[in-house]
Structure 1
Amino acid sequence: MNGIHTCPVRIIASSLALAAAALPATLAQAQSNRATALEEVVVTAQRREQDLQRTSVSVTALGGELLADADLPELSSLENLVPNLNFRIGSDGGNSTLQAFIRGVGQFDFAITTDPGVGMYIDNVYQSRTIGANLEFADIEQVQVLRGPQGTLYGKNTIGGAINVVTKKPGDELEFQLEGATGSYQHRELNGYLSVPLIDGTLAASAAFLMRESDGWQERRGQDAGNDDMAGGRFHLLWTPGESFESHLVLDAAHQRQNVYPRVLATFNGAEFFPFLYNTFVSPGDPCCTPNADIDKSNALNELERDDLDSRGASWTNTWSWDKFQLQSITGYRQLESEIYRDSDNDPQDFLSVGTLIDGDQISQEFIFSGLALNDNLDWVAGLYYLDEDAEHDSDITVASGLFEALSSQPLDVTLPDGTPVAFLAVPLDLTLHYERQQQTTSYAAYIHGIYSLSDSLRLTLAARYTDEEKELDTFSVRRASQTAFVTPGPTDASACSDVVASGNGSRYQCKESWSEVSPKVGIEWDINDDIMTYLSASRGFRSGAFNGRPTALAEISVADPETLTAYEWGLKSEWWDRRLIVNGALFYNDYEDQQFLVNRSSASLGGGLALIVDNAGDSSITGAELEISALPVEGLTLTGTLGWIDAEFDTFESINPATGQVEDLSDRPFQDTPEWTGSLMAQYEWIFNRGGSLKLLADVYYKDNVYYTNDRAARDFEVLHPDGFTTWNAGLIYTTPQEHWQVALHGRNLGDEREINGGFTVDAFGVTDVSYTAPRRYFLSLRYRL
């Protein structure tokens, strides 16, 4: 492990050496009008415009120009530039599903019954579902990643952090940009942006669009997996009739019809219970299944495979400004329809597949009142927040398709060693499960955040949030093949849930519960001098309770209580050498209580198959550190580096095994989706020619330490889902013409062709370990025209 810990340091040191070696002898010929200091970065992390270096929260701000230059096509690419931010491929198989983890806190399940641990915002509007969030357009002004609990400044309470995408407002000058790109795997892309002043100084509009297509990079018998086929756009209308009022309307839509993110059957144990029965009675002459020999080729053939998405959204922000006060109204709406169907068995036979259909509608309203008081010594923000979400989630889980038909057709004289006819097993072993869920969530909140200046250099922060949330869940389930109930009607142990009743050929139950919490924050910040600021804070995060939307038996109907996280943080923001060097860092400690988990267990009612329990299974301690450095060592060269470290361990981890009814101690489990070390370095060098025009060279390297994609040490393939740390390299070359109208760029991603596991799951009883891998080396060439 010692060698692994020093990997980020070695990577950064070697990259610095390469960057220095790349400096050309023609450096002296560059024009002298280039920047001699790093630009000031303005963020709105505390609901007002501030210099990033005077913001007492851990926030990384990435501008739209940097995102375009670095050719980061999706929000999940942000982990390359942000410390202690980690994404996993959506466990539903969708490439556009965003499952983010910050400082070890994230989302254990993509289902509608689970709230994200990291909040996703577009123009300050919270996105309840992370499906379809992994998309970008050409009108991005800035992306801000806030680490730690959020709630006293942002609309929705989020326990781990927030990602806020800030789009570009239309201005009073005509702007036009059109870009086309081509690349590996028949990549084709066209995106554009147009901003037009309609009424001088009063009304302006803009529109952005994106169309992207490519072939998949995993060959399949049907459509290749990993392809792109999407189109979308965003429209802005900005009305500013005077200095005291502004109204900003944003409409967006996305349409996607593509295949799933490539899955790989890493291992298959045909001797396990379900594979044995399947190959004996369903497919005796052509046994299933064979693990992938090549991760870029699959024998899977399922015509239902898809990653389809339709998303529509709107936000309307109205701002009234007075001398020392401001009132802002933010109204948001989002509707999405997602259908994802993935086949994981590397075989034309349907041994294991999962279909997911999610429809969701949400509306939110936030009022924010802010101003100055007490001789301008108190800078305060107060807000009211409302969210209503109505979501539907249907699932079709298929294990050993055809097993019910094969067993039920067996003659009664075909028996087990104990004399039980095999036909009697047909219904209990029917694992073609269908779920229909409807959940309505209503959230109310009020918050206040004040910063009081004790002196010219010392400020005190006091803040609090009150949250009240109510959830109602209605669940129907049935075995598809046999048309029988697998959740047996009867009374439940969960007091928030009704008795399970027969409904058609299946069963149905409802749950309803509400929770409330006060989340305070206190902090102190001190300007040591004009260039160095330090702060100390303590805050509390809250995630409301969760229902189990996937019970496989009556005993598995469960309700998890809310979880809380108390975060302690010390941070430093500093500038050096006339702002040619910026060094920011933070140390943090999180006390995480009543963690919600989807705990996997063996279920006797499913023949030893998978049982899923939603439980407050764990309490943990998370200690970590972050370092961000930006430097301008010579004119034209910018270096940006990050380093993140997390030490996370469970203090307690206990859960009831439904097969035995006993409480088990699982505290030796590792933390999931949380690499101990992450590190990155980006180097940008720009040549400005004497006759005009410029050439920019970019290179970045990213290191992710070994990570656990399952925390179940008892799983047979536990180590398969614990891949080693790895390093990826990207680079780009951008030429801009003298008038800056034309730009041609060449980019390469994953130049080392590092293929490592980036997600997966295992179920011993099914004999299956399913994983996904990082995409292969790819190249892209683009041409852009800007008015």
Structure 2
Amino acid sequence: MKSMWKAALLAGAAWGASCNLAMAQEQPVAEPEVGVEAVVVTARRREETLKDVPVAVSALSAARLEATGASDITTLQQQTPNATVQIARGSNSTLISFIRGVGQQDPLWGFEPGVGLYVDDVYIARPQGAVLDIFDIERIEVLRGPQGTLYGRNTIGGAIKYVTSKLDLDKPEFLLRGSVGSYDQRDVLLQASIPFTDKFAIGGAVASYDRGGFGENLTTGQDHYDKDVAAYRASAEFTPRDDLFFRFAYDRVNDNSSPRHGHRETAGSTADSAVLSDVYDTRAGLSGPNRVDTEGWSFTGSWEASDKLTFKSISAYRESQTDTIIDFDGTPAPTLDIPAYYADEQFSQEFQAQFTTDRIQGVVGVYYMNGYAKGAFDTIAGNLGLSISSAGKVATTSKAIFGDVSFDVNDRLKVSVGGRWTQDDKNANVFRAFYLGATRSPTLGGTPRPIFATRTNYVAADSFEKFTPRVSVSYDLNDDLTGYASFSSGFKSGGWDMRGDAALVPQTANGYQPETVDTYEAGLKGNLFDRRLFFSSAVFYSDYKDQQITTQQVATAPAVGIASVVDNAGASTIYGAEFEGSAFFSPNLSANFALGYLHAEFDEFITLVTGTPVDISNTRQFQNAPKFSGYLGVTWRGDVAGGTLRVTPSVSYRGDYHLFDVADPILDQDAYALVDLGVVWDAPGKQWQVAVYGKNLTDEQYRVGGYSFPGATYNNSIIGFYGPPRTWTASVQYKF
């Protein structure tokens, strides 16, 4: 009921805003500083105004993120329609993303993400360490729908682009910010840049994020849901001539937060498996290292060969190491304990040529990536007296040729055509074995002992090749409105299930093929009410084929164990609508809003577990695909105490959604709304800033993930992971 009232409040506020906006036409309104025709994005790998891009893209500026107190990129879920951007189950820095119902829930090393993440045009191949904290940033772009032409494989849901700020070549810059808040939060950010000449500058930033736990591990005494993260960035920029630009950048993140085990949603058969009253508490007994370290460098060079032709090179290397533990049963006993490690590295190289003439603009290029990912985890099943060890590695070489060209047919009509050819060559090793004894296996440093039974042991190789086209037509209806229609295609690469049990499900050794999405989209962007409303809208229809779907298998006597089956089991239809923008009511009052509608259903869901193909689509649901989502943030700004005060209350709404493709009344999340508040005061000259932020002010409890292992064998282990409770943060910032 409370969520329904908040949804009504959101809808009512949006309606009231529209009415006030219309009435405001008779009042003098200051010209807004930035509108949809002035926001510059790089959705098509070249700088264009948001109004001219025939793509559904949200652009969140540094100022907007600052006004709402955005701490990391998961805030995109609140402010972007039809998007899920969350911290993965049992993690503090692993990213799970879905856009328009398409993504990837499982961060295991053998699976590819369905939403691409880019930092300054560098593709981040693995989700570990990808929950990026927001600092030293210019903007974040969220591209919705398949981006297979310009961004390639694994962007079938869309792409998130994190764009950092360039260095100032004219004067030194310095910023120091300190924050304190609820649950012993203590954050510090220091960033600076120094121009040594008018052509060369260096800069760097160091950030420390510390917070006590929202709850407690009642068995070990550790904080639960705490944060202990350090982040570092450094860059150097060199402009030897007006037509040359070079940038070297380095970043590193160390996450030493305590293990996150989840909350039991149902009671088991033992006294210590009762449901705790605080959803952030646990009785988990599994202990061990829990750490994520990720780092990388990139080198970007740009040469303007003429006023019509620019060449660009992007070289990058990244690596990551993760040690983690998750206690699935939430008790001191090793009923279902999962220690694990992941490691990966990648090198990528991209060359682009961007060209512009009076009527033709575009980009062509080539891309190469060599990546390697490996890992191992144990499933310690105490009631079975077993440790099930899974280990493997995947090496990927990806090559692509791409291009996208726009033609101005006349002053109002534009046609864009693009395509990308991609080839992924993959090699994999997959191993799975049973060890007697409910302790860590020798693979993860446990007691040395012989293998009781080898379940999976194979080497495989395959090549996946795909051409992904895109075509769009846009038309300027007038100077203020642009409409467009487009078709785009994307694919996610195939592979092998690193958890597969070949003894239980032999077809796991065959692997799975790529999945594809074809999307038809139409949109309208522009300005209304004498440039008081800036908006982007889109309707879309997607044909989703060969979906890679993971089905969990829990076997008991005579066959025992926990395994998964990954098949190209699904075909689906997805359609929906999106509307977002900004409204300016007066020189002191403005608003940002976003509304999303999403309908996603399986047309086919074939399971082979029984040995005979069976379509069970009528029993399956899309995960992380709420039907409705919305956001409304209203900002009042005025002169206070000689400075500028900005007050931004906001509310975001997220409809009912499933955590898995099987409906589960215990884990499925009901609709909820989050109410936030940001108050920011900039002193004269903006050297000093004082801010106060309140998050989830109504203290909503909502699940963002879970695991389900019901039944006596695993002590009815059904656990949920929750979003943050109500928090307050106060910060002071000094800069020059």
Q: Does residue 319 of structure 1 match 2:316?
A: no
Name the aligned partner's letter for residue 536 of structure 1. Answer: A
Distance (Å, rounded) in 1 between the aligned partners of 2:486 and 2:5: 30
Distance (Å, rounded) in 1 between the aligned partners of 2:4 and 2:697: 23
Conservation of the 8 A alpha-carbon contact between 1:137 and 1:210: no
Name the aligned partner's letter for residue 392 of structure 1. Answer: K
**What are the superposed Cα offsets for residues 285-338 of structure 1, whole Å, 9 maximum, x if unpaired?**
x6652232321322223322x541111111111001122111100001101111
SS at match of 2:196: strand
User: 2:73 aligns to what?
Assistant: 75
**Percent identity (aligned):** 32
Conservation of the 8 A alpha-carbon contact between 2:153 and 2:492: no
SS at match of 1:320: strand
Deviation at 1:586, TM superposition (A): 0.2
Name the aligned partner's letter for residue 109 of structure 2. Answer: I
Name the aligned partner's letter for residue 661 of structure 1. Answer: G
Distance (Å, rounded) in 2 between the aligned partners of 1:557 and 1:603: 19
Distance (Å, rounded) in 1 between the aligned partners of 2:277 and 2:205: 42
Distance (Å, rounded) in 1 between the aligned partners of 2:316 and 2:192: 23
Q: Does residue 396 of structure 1 match 2:378?
A: yes
User: 1:279 aligns to what?
Assistant: none
User: 1:477 aligns to what?
Assistant: 432
Name the aligned partner's letter for residue 723 of structure 2. Answer: T
Deviation at 1:64, TM superposition (A): 1.4
User: 2:709 aligns to what?
Assistant: 763
**What are the superposed Cα offsets for residues 539-566 of structure 1, whole Å, 9 maximum, x if unpaired?**
1111111211102342243411111110
Distance (Å, rounded) in 2 between the aligned partners of 1:348 and 1:559: 36
Q: Does residue 750 of structure 1 match 2:733?
A: no
Distance (Å, rounded) in 1 between the aligned partners of 2:472 and 2:17: 41
Name the aligned partner's letter for residue 365 of structure 1. Answer: Q
**What are the superposed Cα offsets for residues 182-234 of structure 1, whole Å, 9 maximum, x if unpaired?**
0011000000221211112x101111111011111111132111111111111
Name the aligned partner's letter for residue 227 of structure 2. Answer: D
User: 2:666 aligns to what?
Assistant: 720
SS at match of 1:546: coil
Equivalent in 178, 191, 203 of residue 206 of structure 1 = 203
- In structure 2, relative to structure 1, the CA distance for the partners of 1:262 and 1:504 (3 Å cut) is closer
SS at match of 1:776: coil
Distance (Å, rounded) in 2 between the aligned partners of 1:188 and 1:569: 45
User: 2:724 aligns to what?
Assistant: 775
Q: Does residue 736 of structure 1 match 2:682?
A: yes
| Aligned length in residues | 708
**What are the superposed Cα offsets for residues 635-661 of structure 1, whole Å, 9 maximum, x if unpaired?**
12110110001111111111111xx32
Conservation of the 8 A alpha-carbon contact between 1:37 and 1:632: no
Conservation of the 8 A alpha-carbon contact between 2:386 and 2:438: no
Equivalent in 591, 606, 610 of residue 654 of structure 1 = 606
Equivalent in 617, 622, 638 of residue 671 of structure 1 = 622
Q: Does residue 267 of structure 1 match 2:266?
A: yes
Conservation of the 8 A alpha-carbon contact between 2:703 and 2:720: yes
**What are the superposed Cα offsets for residues 67-86 of structure 1, whole Å, 9 maximum, x if unpaired?**
12211111111111100011
Q: Which contiguous aligned blocks of 4+ residues in structure 1 show a shift greater than 6 angstroms?
A: 3-7, 18-21, 502-505
SS at match of 2:215: coil
Q: Does residue 62 of structure 1 match 2:60?
A: yes
User: 2:175 aligns to what?
Assistant: 177
- In structure 2, relative to structure 1, the CA distance for the partners of 1:33 and 1:617 (3 Å cut) is closer
User: 1:162 aligns to what?
Assistant: 159
Conservation of the 8 A alpha-carbon contact between 1:94 and 1:307: no
User: 1:597 aligns to what?
Assistant: 549
User: 2:253 aligns to what?
Assistant: 254
- In structure 2, relative to structure 1, the CA distance for the partners of 1:316 and 1:127 (3 Å cut) is same
| Comparing 769-778 and 590-599, the one that deviates more | 769-778
Distance (Å, rounded) in 2 between the aligned partners of 1:215 and 1:672: 31
Equivalent in 336, 352, 366 of residue 384 of structure 1 = 366
**What are the superposed Cα offsets for residues 349-372 of structure 1, whole Å, 9 maximum, x if unpaired?**
221221221111100000011113
Distance (Å, rounded) in 2 between the aligned partners of 1:204 and 1:661: 64
Q: How does 1:104-119 map to 2 (within 5 A)?
A: 104-119=101-116
What's the TM-score, normalizing by structure 1? 0.86
Distance (Å, rounded) in 2 between the aligned partners of 1:504 and 1:362: 35
SS at match of 1:199: coil
Distance (Å, rounded) in 1 between the aligned partners of 2:151 and 2:467: 15
Equivalent in 565, 575, 578 of residue 626 of structure 1 = 578
Deviation at 1:5, TM superposition (A): 9.3
What's the TM-score, normalizing by structure 2? 0.92
Conservation of the 8 A alpha-carbon contact between 1:546 and 1:614: no
Name the aligned partner's letter for residue 590 of structure 1. Answer: S
Gaps of 5+ in 2: 21-26, 442-449
**What are the superposed Cα offsets for residues 27-56 of structure 1, whole Å, 9 maximum, x if unpaired?**
x9xxx9975454421111111111111111
Name the aligned partner's letter for residue 745 of structure 1. Answer: A
Name the aligned partner's letter for residue 239 of structure 2. Answer: T
Name the aligned partner's letter for residue 671 of structure 2. Answer: G
- In structure 2, relative to structure 1, the CA distance for the partners of 1:693 and 1:267 (3 Å cut) is same
Q: How does 1:502-521 map to 2 (within 5 A)?
A: 506=454, 508-521=457-470
Deviation at 1:514, TM superposition (A): 0.7
Conservation of the 8 A alpha-carbon contact between 2:261 and 2:284: no
Equivalent in 404, 412, 417 of residue 462 of structure 1 = 417
User: 1:414 aligns to what?
Assistant: none
SS at match of 1:61: strand
Conservation of the 8 A alpha-carbon contact between 2:380 and 2:438: no
User: 1:277 aligns to what?
Assistant: none
Name the aligned partner's letter for residue 259 of structure 2. Answer: V
- In structure 2, relative to structure 1, the CA distance for the partners of 1:606 and 1:725 (3 Å cut) is farther
Q: Does residue 291 of structure 1 match 2:263?
A: no
- In structure 2, relative to structure 1, the CA distance for the partners of 1:245 and 1:504 (3 Å cut) is farther
Distance (Å, rounded) in 2 between the aligned partners of 1:607 and 1:291: 30
User: 1:348 aligns to what?
Assistant: 332
Equivalent in 539, 545, 564 of residue 612 of structure 1 = 564
User: 1:126 aligns to what?
Assistant: 123
Q: How does 1:345-494 map to 2 (within 5 A)?
A: 345-373=329-357, 376-400=358-382, 403=383, 429-481=384-436
The Cα RMSD (Å) is 2.6
SS at match of 2:65: helix
Distance (Å, rounded) in 2 between the aligned partners of 1:702 and 1:254: 29
Name the aligned partner's letter for residue 695 of structure 2. Answer: R
Name the aligned partner's letter for residue 444 of structure 1. Answer: K
Q: Does residue 43 of structure 1 match 2:41?
A: yes
Distance (Å, rounded) in 2 between the aligned partners of 1:591 and 1:772: 31
Distance (Å, rounded) in 2 between the aligned partners of 1:15 and 1:565: 33
Conservation of the 8 A alpha-carbon contact between 1:19 and 1:683: no
Distance (Å, rounded) in 1 between the aligned partners of 2:494 and 2:159: 19
SS at match of 1:710: coil
- In structure 2, relative to structure 1, the CA distance for the partners of 1:756 and 1:162 (3 Å cut) is same
Distance (Å, rounded) in 2 between the aligned partners of 1:649 and 1:574: 32
Distance (Å, rounded) in 1 between the aligned partners of 2:670 and 2:65: 28
